Chains A and B, each alone.
Chain A
Amino acid sequence: MVLDPKSSFHISTSSGVPIYRQIMDQVKIHIVSGRLKGEDFLPSVRQVAKEIEVNPMTVSKAYSLLESAGVIETVRGQGMRVKFSAEPGADLKDRQEEVLPFVKEMIKKAKQLSLTKEEILDAIRSRWED
């Protein structure tokens, strides 16, 4: 499967998070969620840059950082491919890792508001099914 850049990457320019980081994070999320599997190809730098309207250098920076992190690899003449070993698919730990920043943020807020653990878990439970 090849990812469609337009529907796969959502870039926010006002968040202050560098765009290459947003691309890296979103590639990782697609891998962790199983949407991208080992040996799947990523869309080319040019394609992504044009579709999501960002600078090609930004996309290639995200890709090369993902490559040095061992998440994807270059296949000569064909592009960037998700590494087989990088496929965590069902790995609970990796998926939890992705929500960790939000969890931390929530805990911080909860403590500021002096909510207890039980109270914050209740809030999660009551909204989980929505």
Chain B
Amino acid sequence: MMNSPMIECLNVKKGFGKRNILNGLSLSVPKGSVLGLLGKNGAGKTTLIKLLVGLLKADSGSISVLGESPWRFSEGAKERFGYVPQREKLYPWLTVRQLIEYAGSFYRHWNETLVEQLIRQWRLNEQERIGVLSEGEAQKVAIILALAHEPELLILDEPVASLDPLARREFLKTILHSVADRQCTVFFSTHITSDLERAADHVVLINEGAVSFCGELDELKEQVKRVRIMAGDVTVEQLQMKGVLACEHTDGGVVLTLKDQQGDALQKLEQQFGQAMHVENLNLEEIFLELSR
């Protein structure tokens, strides 16, 4: 069952004044996947997300979300996705309950049970005014508003940045349930890589406005390895390895971070160094640090 992608970007460019933010970015998000967007501050994550929800217009290139151009979303398409912006304090004079009812009135489908469940779980006071909520509480309300109409696609810009670890875990659980039960597609940016390890199956790394990796998280993890060779006199030049992301000479030997090792390159090294060599898997945070040097 191959569906057309939920999100597709082709050679997207966007700048503000003289500053180019996105320089020909391309990516594709399959239906039912949970995609984590990673990148340093200023890499263009928020700009990309605003383009995807139609809050900004690309200078060139094409963007398709739910089969439509976000800049000209139909009402139907708007009902099919949910969006949590990075910072939101809408309508400070409304209470939490009033805001939920107001937002709900725009949608044909609204899961009140889910809303009440999350309000209870996150201990929100429905009578509180939005204006006096803490950042974390406001973020929780924004998440509830994005989830309540049970959209096919969720686009979230650092949804968990202000949440405490407990609330973050509950948020991820809710997301994973929507994915398991309704095959919801989720696109979210974050700096908390450990959250992605659990929830995401796809990752996109952006660096200086272009995609440096787009694919399965597992694939990324299998591509990048750290190799320690504890043979005092060895240098990286002697090894003549391809795909060296980083290397460090220490007293005892050399530590390499390698990407895309073809075929038996690692086995050859192992034959050469035997027990002096040690291959380590890296977690996503370590990979991210190595790839964004």
A contact residues vs B (CB 8 Å cutoff): 11, 13-20, 45-46, 49-50, 53-58, 61, 107-108, 111-112
Contacts and interface: CB of A to CB of B under 8 A. Distances in A.
Nearest to A45: B180
A50 B177 contact: yes
Interface stretch (B14-22, B80-88, B258-266, B281-289): B281-289
B281 A15 contact: yes
A15 B198 contact: no
Given A13-B197, A18-B221, A61-B218, A56 B180 contact: yes
Nearest to A13: B197
A89 to B, nearest CB: 31
B173 A46 contact: no
Interface in B166-222: 169, 172-173, 176-177, 179-181, 194, 197-201, 217-218, 221-222
B283 A57 contact: no
Contacts of A45: 180
Contact of A55 (B200, B281, B282, B283): B200
Given A15-B283, A61-B218, A112-B275, 5 more contacts: A16-B281, A16-B282, A55-B201, A56-B180, A58-B218
B199 A55 contact: yes
Contacts of B201: 55, 57-58
Interface residue SS majority, chain A: helix
Nearest to B225: A16
Contacts of B282: 16
Closest 9 CB pairs of A and B: A16-B281, A13-B197, A18-B218, A57-B201, A46-B180, A16-B283, A56-B180, A55-B201, A49-B180
Interface residues of B, number: 29
Nearest to B202: A57
A18 B180 contact: no
Contact of B198 (A13, A46, A112): A13
Given A57-B32, A57-B33, A112-B275, A19 B180 contact: no
A54 B176 contact: yes
A110 to B, nearest CB: 10
20 contacts: A13-B194, A13-B197, A15-B283, A18-B218, A19-B218, A46-B180, A49-B176, A49-B179, A50-B176, A53-B173, A54-B176, A55-B176, A55-B179, A56-B179, A56-B180, A57-B33, A58-B201, A107-B275, A108-B278, A112-B230
B280 interface: yes
B197 A19 contact: yes
A56 B31 CA distance: 13
A14 B199 contact: no
A16 B280 contact: yes
Given A13-B198, A17-B281, A19-B197, A55 B34 contact: yes
Which of A16, A20, A53, A61 gathers most chain B CB within 10 Å? A16
